Amino acid sequence: QVHLVESGGGLVQAGGSLRLSCGVPVRTFSSYHMGWFRQAPGKEREFVAAITWSGGSIYYADSVKGRFTISRDNAKNTVYLQMNSLKPEDTAVYYCAAAPPGTLGFRVSGSYEYWGQGTQVTVSL
């Protein structure tokens, strides 16, 4: 069982920034596609961003495009989510997830094999 470890969440005012990190303790991290999802109270878990194993392809939800940036450092087994211009509607628990090689449905939570425990992001007015 692989446990991903997220960090970097917290409370920030609207317009502020946060950077989430996710450590992936597997030797084959560089072969996994990585994604970020979020879940607000009373809502379904939703796709935020994804990056392929090489970083060659990146995908964003329309709601975060232009404000969030996903990146990865394969040497550090870490994926990041830089969040700028945060809005109150970005408030949610954010989860990182790892999808095995061959995955095509990056926007679908069912494509991901491993998940982190989540980190809370709260954006106040």
Strand duo 119-124 + 10-13: pairing: parallel
- Report pLDDT digits (tens) over 25-79: 877 888 899 999 999 999 999 999 999 999 899 999 999 999 999 999 999 999 9
Mean pLDDT, to the nearest integer, of 93-119? Answer: 93
Averaged pLDDT of the chain: 94
Rounded Cα distance, 29 and 76, in Å: 9
Question: What confidence category does residue 84 fall into, taking pLDDT thresholds of 50, 70 and 90?
Answer: very high
Decide: 56 and 120 in contact? Cβ < 8 Å.
no
Decide: 36 and 95 in contact? Cβ < 8 Å.
yes
